[in-house]
Amino acid sequence: MAIKIEQVKSVLLKNARVVDPQVKLDQITDILIEKDIIRKIGPVREFKGKTVDCKNKIVIPGMMDMHVHLREPGEEHKETVITGCHAAAAGGFTELACMPNTKPPIDCRSDVEFIKERAENHLVNVHPIAAVTIGQAGEQLTEMGDMIEAGAAGFSDDGKPVLTAALMRRALEYATMLGKPVIDHCEDLSLSESGVMHEGKISAVLGMPSIPSIAEEIIVARDLLIAEYTEGLLHLAHISTAGAVRLIREAKSRGVRVTAETCPHYLVLTDEAVRGFNTLTKMNPPLRSENDQKMLIRGLKDGTIDTIATDHAPHAIEDKECEFQVAAFGIIGLETAFGLIWTHLVEKKLLTLEELILKMSVHPRQILQLPENKIESGAPANLTLVDPDIMWTVDNTAFESKSKNMPFQDWKLKGKTFGVINRGKMILTV
Amino acid sequence: MQLKSRHLLGLEGVCQEDITLILDTAESFKKVLDRPIPKVPTLRGKTVANLFFEPSTRTRFSFELAEKRLSADSVNFSKVGSSVAKGETLKDTARNIEAMKINFVVMRHSAPGAPHFLSQCLDSVVINAGDGAHEHPTQALLDMMTLRNCFQSLKGLKVVIVGDIEHSRVARSNIYGLLTMGANVGVCGPATLIPREIKALGVTVYPGIEEAMKEADVLNVLRIQLERQKEALFPSLREYRNLFGITRERLDRVNRRITIMHPGPINRGVELDSDVADGDYSVILSQVTNGVAVRMAVLYLLDGGRQKLEGDDHGN
Amino acid sequence: MKVKCEIMDAKDITRTLNRLTHEILERNHGTDNLVIVGIRNRGDALAYRIIRRIEQIEGKTVPLGMLDITLYRDDFQRLTDRPILQETDIDVDITDKKLILVDDVLYSGRTIRSAMDALMDLGRPALIQLAVLIDRGHRQLPVKADYVGKNVPTSVNEQIQVKIKEKDGEDRVFLVEN
């Protein structure tokens, strides 16, 4: 499947169910788009331009994935800005934020500009997250102000935690002064050590070095205390444990300015999947227990967890076709996220369509202090087109991503996005 | 008869009939080993590659001897000086070995699941000779064979595994095998070396050695690795011996016969005192003899030709 | 499989074994150094009966050996199933002994070849003779029995089915067709 980007002169989305909880919109109607602007929401009788039949389809505000690894610069054999954007579009995302742990890391203005430039002409908006510390080495703060001017949307040393409490304190104080959050990868390295999977029954069975839940929770607790103390803007990436959910819930109830994300794989898989030593089930944080999964879903539901991000982590085949202990951490997720969430949460009534829109479209933009994206007449047309009923089978050979590493091959899913519209461009995938 | 699996990757999930078949077959091979010419032509023309990515003397010797006793040709590959050091992936190593038309691969590796991975890239039969802290199935089989020789049946037997359970493949394979055969299994060792959710495997956890010895018919004593001390998992060998060492005094205090096993090599005076290791209750040397017989049985039973029997040349 | 005809009944088998016993004793001038070795899984039962008969005739007990030839088979690579390994149980040192190898049916000769290899690994007998209840022909190796109960000409798609009381509950021999 090759992505085809069409320039929009004018396009009519006919008979769509248009849903946007931000403007309390949920009705079956037409949307007329001219260039990059929504001209009209309402019945359009006569129209000569391109029409997309959206009968039984849903149009939602364009989705955003705030946790993507694009691998450029440095590991272009795994992914590039362009292939990553293609994969995002194929998965229904119109915007993404990319993590700075490239080679070299994104830690100065020219690095941020490089990423922005690469994505300049794509439909997908790319918002670089820049490093908290130079070289992500955990020592010296980066020039955050300069990088925000160039387009950086937040700061993270993702791949690693912000190393010390003192550093976290300073980073939060400084980034918050500039209005951007610090995104932390919560992992106490002394506890996770050489671990490769969740510590629990399955790790006991497999005899594998493991990562206890508390490795995540201790840093979550540390960060929450620092955020409370500094009144900083804290975002916690890929939350995976019940204990972390509990800590965040409690902190939010006290008014700490914290937001949190989880990933589709933690919601649909548990450490049971690691039996058989499938390296495609290896990620960091690791797949957790059934109880953790239940608590993550509860956390999503009650607002403790604000967003679902993919942690799209492309790796070459040789990084995964090896012993479990040696294999790279991480899986790709852009092209399966919507289908997984729709099939395993929305269809099972664990999440409503409105909640999905909040978690996957509205909140990521709020967290990164980006302009809101509403479906309103006169607003920029930034939309995702959803076919809620289609049955499909995951096939990574048809993926846009350069990498194929994910454990969902051959999964039967219901619901898929079939198009995205943004920046006066449209991509339809069938 | 045939085993249900093509490979021997572990004992988890191996059924009672298969374990019994292996142990019964091993008894027959033990007789072969007592003959003036302790060798049979059964695997003539078959080639076994012994891939040892981790140092091992005993297991490798035992496998090699089993292979030679069955008249198979064997080639040895060990990490030192091999291409693994040059950064060749396990998959490439395996492929190269297969291109040499090898029938069996016996593998020892530090990563759990490495033989499982290998079995997916190869047509050869894969036998796990120890994968990290995961499994060491032939060791557990020889332990069970030794126990069957002492107690007739494993059903209802109380076996306590003592020592570093967390890092022990011997412990895990013994737990799976013994539970399948109807034995009761306990573990005992420093809390830092007992996996957090070990109870979920169906074993009893004994916090102290005295309590374990009160109930055990058998103590399978594991080797304590000095490295664990550096990882702050226990303070010293001296303290380990004080708390968990199997001494004559401790055995004397229990006025019951307790059979002592050890997978070797023994740290004498640490986990096991010499007079216990060499005493009447110790079956440690039978374990070694049984090791060769069990490995012969495994090779014999896994050497499945793919074709159906054409005609019937034997008997009639 | 279809039974074509009955070749021997219980009495026939007893008479034949009696004759074979006499022949063995005659040819070997008594029981000195004699060891009777039966090939599992029916030859061992026949061997045992021969020994009982010798006791009746000579008043002496000759050692019995039981041989499992599984590990010496030449068709190993062609089998999908591993045959269950039975024990070879020969308590005497066979070196310089006169071995009488006993089996139920002689066919291709491959079993006997395997049996001889197995025996050679156990020692160096003075001689080996072969006694079989039925010789059905179709030899693939140059093997000849010294004592034959009955010669039964067969076609290749026929089989001889020997039933022995100790294993099968009755003493009968059938010719069956595949």
Residue C163 placed within a domain: no
For B237, how many CA atoms within 13 A lie in the half-sphere containing its CB?
A: 12
Closest CA to A167 of A175, A154, A192: A175
The residues, ordered by sequence, that sit 6+ positions from C63 with a Cβ below 8 Å of its Cβ are C34, C35, C36, C91, C92
Residues in Cβ contact with A29 at an 8 Å cutoff, skipping those fewer than 6 apart: A15, A16, A18, A41, A42, A43
What would the pLDDT profile of A116-132 be if each residue is shown by its tens digit?
A: 999 999 999 999 999 99
- Cβ neighbours for C101, distance < 8 A, ≥ 6 positions apart: C37, C39, C43, C67, C112, C115, C116, C119, C128, C129, C130, C131
- The C-alpha atoms of residue A404 and residue A215 are separated, in whole angstroms, by 29
CB–CB of C72 and B32 under 8 A? Answer: no
Mean pLDDT computed over every residue of chain C: 92
Model confidence band, residue B305 (pLDDT cutoffs 50, 70, 90): very low
Distance of residue B249 Cα from the nearest chain A Cα, in angstroms? 33
pLDDT digits (tens, 9 = 90+) for B7-16: 999 999 999 9
Question: A392-422 burial string, b = 16+ CB within 10 Å, else e?
Answer: eebebeebbbbbbbbbbeebebbbbbbbbbb
Q: Record the pTM.
A: 0.90
Residue C173 included in any domain: no
Of the options 3.30.310.50, 3.80.10.10, 2.30.40.10, 2.40.50.140, the CATH number for the domain spanning A6-59+379-402+413-428 = 2.30.40.10
Query: Residue A401: its pLDDT value, please?
Result: 97
Percent of chain C with pLDDT over 90: 81
Give strand pairing partners of B49.
Answer: B75, B105
In a domain, C169, yes or no: no
At residue C72's C-alpha, the angle toward residues C66 and C75, to 5°, is 125
* A276-320: pLDDT as tens digits: 999 999 999 999 999 999 999 999 999 999 999 999 999 999 999
How far off is chain A from B125, nearest CA to CA, in Å?
A: 17
The whole-number average pLDDT for the span C149-176 is 93
Chain B residue whose CA is closest to C87: B28
Task: Please indicate whether, in this complex, the C-beta atoms of A204 and B200 are within 8 angstroms of each other.
Answer: yes
**Mutation site for B-interface testing, chosen from A194, A202, A206 by largest number of B Cβ within 10 Å:** A206
pLDDT for B226? 81
From the list B110, B131, B201, which residue is nearest A205 (CB)? B201
pLDDT at B56: 87
Nearest CA in chain A to B9: A276
Predicted pLDDT of residue B36: 85
Among the partner-chain residues B110, B131, B197, the one whose CB lies closest to the CB of A201 is: B197
Distance CA B121, CA B105 (A): 12
C83 touches chain B (CB under 8 A): yes
The pLDDT of residue B247: 95
Q: Are B127 and B103 in contact (CB under 8 A)?
A: no
Average pLDDT, chain A: 97
Rounded CA separation C14/B89 (Å): 68
Convert the pLDDT of each residue in C84-133 to its tens digit: 777 888 889 999 999 999 999 999 999 999 999 999 999 999 999 999 99
Predicted local confidence at residue B304, as pLDDT: 62
Q: Cβ contact (<8 Å) for C78 and B309?
A: yes
Distance in Å, alpha carbon of B305 to nearest chain C alpha carbon? 5
What is the CATH number for C40? Answer: 3.40.50.2020
Check if B101 contacts C (Cβ < 8 Å).
no
User: Is C145 a domain residue?
Assistant: yes
Options 1.10.1660.10, 1.20.810.10, 3.40.50.10490, 3.20.20.140; CATH of A60-367: 3.20.20.140
Check if the interface score ipTM surpasses 0.85: yes
| Total domain count, chain C | 1
- Chains with at least 3 CB pairs less than 8 angstroms from chain C: B
Contacts of A324 (CB under 8 A, 6+ apart): A196, A197, A208, A274, A277, A279, A282, B111, B112, B113, B117
Domain extent at residue C134: 10-73+86-154
Characterise A395 by phi-psi region: left (phi > 0), alpha (psi -120 to 50), beta (else): beta
Nearest CA to C46 among C85, C20, C77?
Answer: C20
- For residue C70, the SS3 value is helix
Angstrom distance (rounded) from CA B316 to CA B314: 5
Just list the catalytic residues of A: 311
**Residues of chain C neighbouring B303 (CB-CB closer than 8 A):** 76, 82
Domain with CATH 3.20.20.140 in chain A: 60-367
Average pLDDT, integer, range A168-182: 97
pLDDT reported for residue B312: 38
C-chain CB neighbours of B103 within 8 Å are none
- Measured CA distances, A349 to A155, A355, A417 (Å): 35, 11, 19
Q: Do A204 and B90 touch (CB under 8 A)?
A: no
Q: What is the DSSP letter of A335?
A: T
Contact A110, A117 (CB under 8 A): no
